[in-house]
Chain A
Amino acid sequence: MNVVLAKTDTGRAVSTSFALARERLPGSGKVAEQRQQAFEAFERAGLPHRRIEDWKYTDLRVLMREVLPLAAAPDTAALSRAEAALKLHAIEGTRRLVLVDGVFAPKLSDLGKSENGLSIRTLREVLEAGDGALQGELLASDNADPMIALNTAMATDGVVIEIASGTVLEQPLHVVHVASVGAPAAMFTRSLLRLGRDVSATLVESFVATEGTKAYQTYDSLIVSLGDNARLDHLRLVEDGLEAFNISSAAVTLGAHAQLNTFGMVSGASVSRYQPTIVFAGEGARVDTNGVNLIKGRQHADTTMFMDHAVPNCASREVFRAVIDNRAHSVFQGRIVVRPDAQKTDAKMMTRALLLSDEAEADNKPELEIFADDVTCGHGATTGALDESLLFYLRARGLPEKEAQALLIQAFVGEAIESITNDQLREHVIAAAQRWLEARG
């Protein structure tokens, strides 16, 4: 009964929001049509709820209730708050691209002398003036998923990054999503990263909020393609405010012999959901994904990953770790599909959850659908508390209880963090994990 009511209210609110926002959304003609179709798809489905299998553990009708109205474009005050927040989250040596309240902020971004082969535009530019094929690619998303459809309908801005074949990009790209809204609002961004053949690049994404920014919703969608033999190191850090919602997705396609090394850490947001879909489109490609959730209070963090082995001779590794305190709830759903032609696939998935309180909850749902007969596939999951015998050993050596716990938690997530090859980025993540441990007290 409640669910039906919630849907009706939500539907009305979002319809109004979309009608009001339409004026401000970039693109016309075909683009506007795609948005309209996507919006209708969202309206038909409404917010996903627990009776939809993929959303079983993350019932947005209960957790979120409504989609907030579109955030206004940031004013001077919002931008200067964002500038202050950037000081805390900046990573030295990276090219920073900043989106404030869902709108690209050129003054806060490094747009100076671009390396050869690197092209950076905003989503708004491309949708208003770009070529039709690229526009089509940007908005041709899966309307079957209501949240991706909503993002397609409402995407206000983002970055469109293209790296020409053969380019080795030395400087990591750092896309920072800053929430700086004064009143509760939603921001919708969509970005694209296209790596040509033999490209090597590093992308860091951060989601942060300015001081004093409380309730907001951020919806992001990232489209990534790796050309043959390309390599992407990808780091994703969700450090949103603790009253925020972060509902995001990524669609990644890998060419032959391409390599993706990705690390994600969620320590912020009240409710977060990240749905990456990774498609192997060329043989001999490899994906290594590492994820860490550091959550407490009543935080809810869901990673739902789909690894699509569509061609032979590819390898994927998924290692996911969660540290869950108080009444927080961590969800990992990992689906691996090995299609009939995808012989010699080597796919493994491992999840480990560390529960720091009796009320902490971890849900792991591995799904393997294997249609080829010559493959190596496996998954494993463990859930447990900190080992009492290790804690006593550390305490007998003089470490107070919290410090002993912190050392063991660090060790638990450390192995995942070690997968980050860039020293500076690894240090940045270690510092972020350290902040979480210290805040735990």
Chain B
Amino acid sequence: MALLEVKDLQVRVEDREILHSLSLTVNPGEVHAIMGPNGSGKSTLSHVIAGKPGYEVTGGQILFRGEDLLEMEPDERAAKGVFLAFQYPVEIPGVATMNFLRTALNAQRKARGESEYSTPDFLKKVREVAKSLNIPQDMLKRGVNVGFSGGEKKRNEILQMALFEPSLCILDEMDSGLDIDALRIAADGVNALRSPERAMVVITHYQRLLNYIVPDYVHVMAKGRVVKSGGKELALRLEESGYAQFEDAA
């Protein structure tokens, strides 16, 4: 069974239709890249999959392991294994990162009927992952993302991804605001999480990120639909010729 099936999805924000009959199928273990110019609907797709309020789905469906994702609250989707790495992770003053991570992890486990992590096991796990991502311990004591640099915020997203072990990771413009070193650390973190059970959807404007996270499939979005799908070589072709050809086609 496919992990994620998006079928003829139509989405509106206020009076504007953002996605028109968008379809996409992702199987376990696959890495899909979604590319496209600004305003093509890439981020909207990621928000709708994660359950962000403010979008009206007027047609089509999203199935996650055959279940209707659109019927679920955002926290239920997270517990089922959907993870969105935010383009702009928010700052939450007064909520210590460590407390947040533990509360979130245990909420997901509780929703799945699993036992809560013991404190020593939890700490051990966080420390291991943090170390591999080059995240200093004192960052974990601070408020969530408070005073973090762009790179630190993205690494904190990947830390959560590693901790929650989702089966579908959606990375929304992970490369925005990152210099090349920060990008490499983040990409290494993502690559370490690739596995035959886990699928990834990498949303990006630039081909650059795909040098580090090499996709199995590339989809080009323009004006709210997928206009072209292919292998990783499609990304290279885009780099040379740009998005204009597809925008005309759409």
Contact = CB atoms under 8 A, between A and B. Distances in A.
Contacts of B51: 395-396
A398 B53 contact: no
B74 A407 contact: no
A408 B92 CA distance: 8
B94 A398 contact: no
Contact of A392 (B52, B93, B107): B52
Contacts of B202: none
A340 to B, nearest CB: 40
Contacts of A407: 95, 100, 103
A398 B107 contact: yes
Nearest to B82: A396
A158 to B, nearest CB: 37
Contact of A408 (B86, B95, B107): B95
Contacts of A393: 86, 89-90, 92
Contacts of A116: none
Nearest to B107: A398
Contacts of A415: 93-94
Interface in A370-399: 387-390, 392-399
Given A396-B74, A396-B78, A398-B79, A389 B90 contact: yes
Given A393-B86, A393-B90, A403-B107, A388 B75 contact: no
B78 A414 contact: no
A411 B103 contact: no
B71 interface: no
A389 B90 CA distance: 7
Interface string A401-417: 10110011011101100
Task: Name the prevailing secondary structure of the A interface residues.
Answer: helix
B76 to A, nearest CB: 9
Contacts of B94: 410-412, 414-415
A393 B97 CA distance: 13
Interface residues of A, number: 23
A352 to B, nearest CB: 12
Given A388-B53, A407-B95, A414-B94, A399 B107 contact: yes
Residue among A388, A393, A398, A411 with max Cβ neighbours from chain B (10 Å): A398
B180 interface: no
Nearest to A387: B90
Interface string A25-66: 000000000000000000000000000000000000000000
A395 B74 contact: yes
A350 to B, nearest CB: 15
B108 A398 contact: yes
Contacts of B105: 398
B44 to A, nearest CB: 14
A394 B75 CA distance: 8
Nearest to B144: A393
A132 interface: no
Contacts of B95: 407-408, 410-411
A136 interface: no
B75 A398 contact: yes
A407 B50 CA distance: 20
B84 A396 contact: yes
Interface in B34-74: 50-53, 73-74
29 contacts: A389-B90, A390-B90, A393-B86, A394-B104, A395-B78, A396-B51, A396-B52, A396-B84, A396-B86, A397-B75, A397-B107, A397-B108, A397-B160, A398-B75, A398-B78, A398-B79, A398-B105, A398-B111, A399-B107, A400-B111, A401-B73, A407-B95, A407-B100, A410-B95, A411-B92, A411-B143, A414-B94, A415-B93, A415-B94
Given A396-B74, A401-B75, 10 more contacts: A390-B92, A392-B52, A393-B90, A394-B92, A396-B52, A398-B79, A398-B104, A400-B107, A411-B95, A412-B94
Which 10 residue pairs of A and B lie closest in terms of their CB atoms, listed nearest first? A411-B94, A398-B108, A398-B78, A397-B104, A395-B74, A398-B107, A411-B95, A395-B75, A393-B90, A414-B94
